[in-house]
Amino acid sequence: MTAIDDLLADFEVLDDWEDRYRHVIELGRELAPLPEADHTAANKVKGCASQVWITSATSGGTDDPVLTFLGDSDALIVKGLIAIAFMIYSGKTARQVLATDAGEVLGRLGLAGHLTQQRSNGFASMIQRIKSDAQAALHG
């Protein structure tokens, strides 16, 4: 079972939006900490209303490296969205990252319709950054 399968199972039992919202915040609280030194302008994600930082590291071969991500935000709900993005993408190969549609996963979680336009745009900016890092890892 993948992290996304676990997440989908968790969300299936949460009927109401308030419970799902609280669960997203809880995921953010459980996010691995991003070292203070990585809270830099270079790691900052543009297009987010809240402050968001994402770093990536690669391992494995150069033809399809595996990416792992760390991140942080100054807003709890956004930290939760970062955690969801990492559940979707972290530990995957660059090609898997590029082939995976996070919007589809958000829809299956029942989150897509509940996020404000600003949060949806911010999430899209995070995904764009993650995919950009994957593209860079492939073409190192």
How do the domains of the chain map onto residue ranges?
A: 3-138
38, containing H or E segment: none
Helices (H), the chain: 3-12, 17-29, 76-89, 94-99, 102-109, 117-138
113 belongs to the catalytic site: no
Each residue's pLDDT tens digit, 92-126: 999 999 999 888 888 888 777 778 888 888 899 99
Residue 140 has a pLDDT of 65
pLDDT over 90 for what percent of the chain? 56
34, containing H or E segment: none
Residue 44 has a pLDDT of 95
Q: In this structure, which topology does domain 3-138 adopt according to CATH?
A: Sufe protein. Chain: A (3.90.1010)
Q: Over the Cα atoms of the chain, what is R_g? A: 14
This prediction has a pTM of 0.91
Cα separations (Å) of 46 from 4, 119, 124, 133? 26, 13, 11, 14
Q: How many CA atoms lie within 13 A of 46 on its CB side?
A: 3
Which residue out of 48, 88, 105, 109 is catalytically annotated?
Answer: 48
